[in-house]
Amino acid sequence: MIIIIFLLGLCIGSFLNVLICRLPCGQSADGRSKCPRCRKTLSWHELVPLASFLIQKGRCRGCAKKISWQYPALELVTAAFFVFVYTPENFVLNALLFVSVSTMIVVFMIDLQYGLILDAVIWPSAILVGILQVLTGASIFNLLSAVLVAGGFFALQWVFSKGRWIGDGDIGLGILMGLILGWPNILSALFFAYVGGAFISLFLLALRKKTLKSAVPFGVFLAPATLVALLWGSELIKWYLSTI
């Protein structure tokens, strides 16, 4: 079964690559993929996740242009996450986990490369996650509390800073995070995001890679923090409650 989940992860990862390439430029996700240099339409055997990259030694068969290592890397990362979160014999829960992992990978990559959090990513995912949560029997009151806390937290910052501290995309991402994690796990995601964000910012400041004024794409911290909270958030909360 693990092999099947791994292969499923590779295929979904390949689809996430398409979304990450196309959505920020306003292109639709359907239609065949082309080589970005020679525009050669890729055939099915050039689109097999991971295998095509290895067989073609990382080059386009049309023009021999190097294919970015980002594509196979993202397929592998997605597959690894799928194997890691997989819960035997619970179809709906697995669907929920896979959708959550996939969305956060896309949010992370697009915010990292373009500084954007796209409505076209957030809202379809939020609807799907909401439906799957209800199907798993999660408490709607619990989910709405988490949505209100995270969405409200970012909305307040957005209003007070007039959009300078965070973008309005972060509000939508907050709502999605609330739906994925529920209460009180949403708090561990915010904790991980701020602690991680602070450490990495100090590190980059020390390396003089950025100044205090440079804008931070906050989704780059929120998305991994959501995944960490999804995997270990309840342990953090247990530990915290045991220390007070």
What type of residue sits at position 39? R
Residue selected from 62, 115, 196, 197 as contacting Zn ion according to rule CB under 5 A: 62
| Beta-carbon-side half-sphere exposure of residue 186 (alpha carbons within 13 Å) | 24
Residue selected from 8, 35, 92, 200 as contacting Zn ion according to rule CB under 5 A: 35
Residue selected from 2, 27, 37, 164 as contacting Zn ion according to rule CB under 5 A: 37
Give which of 53, 66, 48, 60 is closest to 7, Cα–Cα.
48
Q: Are 193 and 177 in contact (CB under 8 A)?
A: no
Residue selected from 38, 47, 135, 159 as contacting Zn ion according to rule CB under 5 A: 38
# of chain residues touching Zn ion (CB under 5 A): 7
Is the Cβ of residue 38 or residue 47 nearer to Zn ion in the bound state? 38
Matching residue, tokens 């970005």 = 36
Least Cβ distance, residue 137 to Zn ion (angstroms)? 49
Is the Cβ of residue 58 or residue 62 nearer to Zn ion in the bound state? 62
Least Cβ distance, residue 99 to Zn ion (angstroms)? 33
Judged by CB under 5 A, the stretch of 35-43, 88-96, 118-126, 219-227 that binds Zn ion is 35-43
Judged by CB under 5 A, the stretch of 9-17, 57-65, 74-82, 131-139 that binds Zn ion is 57-65
Least Cβ distance, residue 54 to Zn ion (angstroms)? 17
Residue selected from 2, 54, 63, 127 as contacting Zn ion according to rule CB under 5 A: 63
Least Cβ distance, residue 16 to Zn ion (angstroms)? 22
Query: In this structure, what token pair is assigned to residue 25?
Result: 């430029």
What type of residue sits at position 113? Q
* 58 near Zn ion, judged by CB under 5 A: no
- Residue 230 CA: distances (Å) to CA of 233, 239, 241: 6, 16, 18
Least Cβ distance, residue 67 to Zn ion (angstroms)? 9
Judged by CB under 5 A, the stretch of 53-61, 120-128, 138-146, 188-196 that binds Zn ion is 53-61
Is the Cβ of residue 22 or residue 210 nearer to Zn ion in the bound state? 22
* 60 near Zn ion, judged by CB under 5 A: yes
Binding site for Zn ion (CB under 5 A): 35, 37-38, 60, 62-63, 65
